[in-house]
Amino acid sequence: MPLILTETQDAIGTIVMNHLQKRNALSEALIGEITTALECFREQGIRAAVLRAPAGVKVWSAGHDVSELPDRGRDPLGWGDSLRVLVRAIQEFPAPVIALIEGGVWGGGCEVAMACDILVATPEATFAITPAKLGVPYNLGGILTLMNMIPLPVAKEMLFTAQPIPTAQALNLGVINYIKPADEIESFVYGLAGQIVVNSPLSIAVMKEELRLLASARTVTPELFERIQGLRRVVYDSHDYQEGLNAFREKRKPRFRGE
């Protein structure tokens, strides 16, 4: 059974994440279907894409599929990790991707939403960035996505508390573009997409790529990169990382020891 639903109309492509029994956890299978759909949209010359869950969901995405995170000793968020693949696929898609958000957005789901170009959410939506809850050392690219989207004190609060923030706060911070009630959000999002698809797709594609390249342009020396990777390795080699995974799998609270 497919994990997504897709639709194309008037140069607008829609991807509905539909793996509800796992709360749209970003498994390799789900991410594979999304990236394949984006490839098809690219071939069809889609000029705006909408990424959403079915109307009325309580959870937009539960984040990375924890059952697919490696046990300790291996970087859980390396270049080839499926979450990283999806974030890049959205950021490199040559047309704007609009996130239509209802329900809770958890963990890596926040980064997927924030990789989108325009975010529209219902008042009930929430955003929780949760590596600390699991004991995961977030990766460089992911931290940079968050740094580009969220003022540092708020990014730190979200990362350190792993608690959800409400849509109203996300709007105040500029993390999302609009808040729209559930009965208006769909027509609003497709109206926005309609304003995009009549403009020059070449101009938009180039400006999107310019923004991506400039937003990720950082001076990262080999020493800085190796120091960060060394720090992250201490975490994913640790008891606490394994404990976070085990606690999730056993549906219990983790007991972190700081080692």
Contacting positions for ligand YXS (CB under 6 A): 22-23, 25, 59, 62-67, 104, 106-108, 130-131, 133-134, 136, 138
When the beta carbons of 23 and 47 are compared against ligand YXS, the nearer one is: 23
Rounded to whole angstroms, how far apart are CA atoms 168 and 127? 11
Catalytic entry in 109, 138, 241, 244: 138
Edge-to-edge order in the sheet of strand 165-166: 59-61, 104-106, 126-128, 165-166
- 64 is known as an active-site residue: yes
Q: Measured at CB, which residue is nearest to ligand YXS?
A: 107
Shortest distance, position 173 Cβ to ligand YXS, whole Å: 19
Rounded to whole angstroms, how far apart are CA atoms 241 and 259? 9
When the beta carbons of 78 and 174 are compared against ligand YXS, the nearer one is: 78
Phi, psi of 130 (to 5 degrees): -120, 15
Catalytic entry in 13, 103, 107, 108: 108
Number of neighbours of residue 258 by Cβ within 10 angstroms: 6
When the beta carbons of 58 and 227 are compared against ligand YXS, the nearer one is: 58
Shortest distance, position 110 Cβ to ligand YXS, whole Å: 7
Shortest distance, position 138 Cβ to ligand YXS, whole Å: 5
Q: Among 15, 112, 80, 28, which Cα is nearest to 54's?
A: 15
- 138 is known as an active-site residue: yes
When the beta carbons of 42 and 233 are compared against ligand YXS, the nearer one is: 233
Catalytic entry in 64, 104, 109, 236: 64
- 236 is known as an active-site residue: no
CB 256 within 8 A of CB 135: yes
The continuous run of DSSP H or E covering 246 comes out as: helix 239-249
Provide the annotated active-site residues.
Answer: 64, 108, 138
